[in-house]
Structure 1
């Protein structure tokens, strides 16, 4: 298990998502699906209710940029 992930660890969240979901089509992910994927990461420990649309869109954008 890696370091604990919190909402402000956007880059680390993206790296963990890339490892956990290497074949995902980023063009089809909704923010609600992304939230579920993040919460399912074994080292994610932050409060789910702190997530908001802007934060999830930012994480998705970083993921898309890293995948290129």
Structure 2
């Protein structure tokens, strides 16, 4: 089935690989949402994201980048 909003670590890894030169600390949630939805493996409903989920994904991406 592909990636879902709750797959925070897997999404963070995909974002890290797709945007290696981006500092995730400074990514706006609107951009983060768009980038997640554009991931080839992402298959969840875009309208089901929440600020909490986006924040969790961003924090996991920051951990991955470090």
TM-score scaled by length of structure 1: 0.89
CA deviations over 1:23-58 (Å, ceiling 9, x no partner): 112232111110000001011000001101111011
Q: CA deviation at 1:4?
A: 1.0
The answer to whether residue 31 in structure 2 is matched with residue 33 in structure 1 is yes
Structure 2 runs not aligned, ≥5 long:
none
TM-score scaled by length of structure 2: 0.92
C-alpha separation between the residues in 2 aligned to 1:46 and 1:27? 24
Task: Summarize the alignment of residues 7-26 of structure 1 with structure 2, pairs less than 5 Å apart.
Answer: 7-26=5-24
Superposition RMSD in Å: 1.1
C-alpha separation between the residues in 2 aligned to 1:11 and 1:28? 18
Q: How many residues align?
A: 66
Structure 1 runs not aligned, ≥5 long:
none
Following superposition, which runs of at least 4 residues in structure 1 exceed 6 angstroms of deviation? none
